[in-house]
Chain A
Amino acid sequence: DGGITQSPKYLFRKEGQNVTLSCEQNLNHDAMYWYRQDPGQGLRLIYYSQIVNDFQKGDIAEGYSVSREKKESFPLTVTSAQKNPTAFYLCASSPRTGRNTQYFGPGTRLTVL
Chain B
Amino acid sequence: DAKTTQPPSMDCAEGRAANLPCNHSTISGNEYVYWYRQIHSQGPQYIIHGLKNNETNEMASLIITEDRKSSTLILPHATLRDTAVYYCIVRVDDSGAGSYQLTFGKGTKLSVIP
Binding site for B on A (CB under 8 A): 4, 31, 33, 35, 42-45, 48, 58-59, 88, 90-92, 97-107, 109
Contacts and interface: CB of A to CB of B under 8 A. Distances in A.
Contacts of A43: 44, 101-104
Q: What size tier do the contact residues of chain B reach?
A: 20 to 34
B100 A33 contact: yes
Given A58-B100, A102-B102, 12 more contacts: A43-B101, A43-B102, A45-B100, A48-B100, A58-B101, A99-B100, A100-B34, A100-B91, A100-B102, A104-B46, A106-B42, A106-B43
B30 interface: no
Contacts of B34: 100-101
B46 A103 contact: yes
A interface majority secondary structure: strand
22 contacts: A35-B101, A42-B103, A43-B44, A43-B101, A43-B102, A43-B104, A44-B101, A48-B100, A58-B101, A88-B41, A90-B44, A92-B43, A100-B32, A100-B34, A100-B89, A102-B44, A102-B46, A103-B46, A104-B43, A104-B45, A104-B46, A105-B43
Nearest to A42: B104
A49 to B, nearest CB: 10
B103 A98 contact: no
B105 interface: yes
B94 interface: yes
B68 interface: no
Contacts of A31: 100
Interface string B85-98: 00001010110000
Nearest to A6: B43
Interface string B31-50: 01010000001111110010
A43 B103 CA distance: 7
Top 3 A-B residue pairs of the complex, sorted by shortest distance between their CB atoms: A104-B43, A45-B101, A42-B104
Contacts of A106: 42-43
Interface in B63-109: 89, 91, 93-94, 99-105
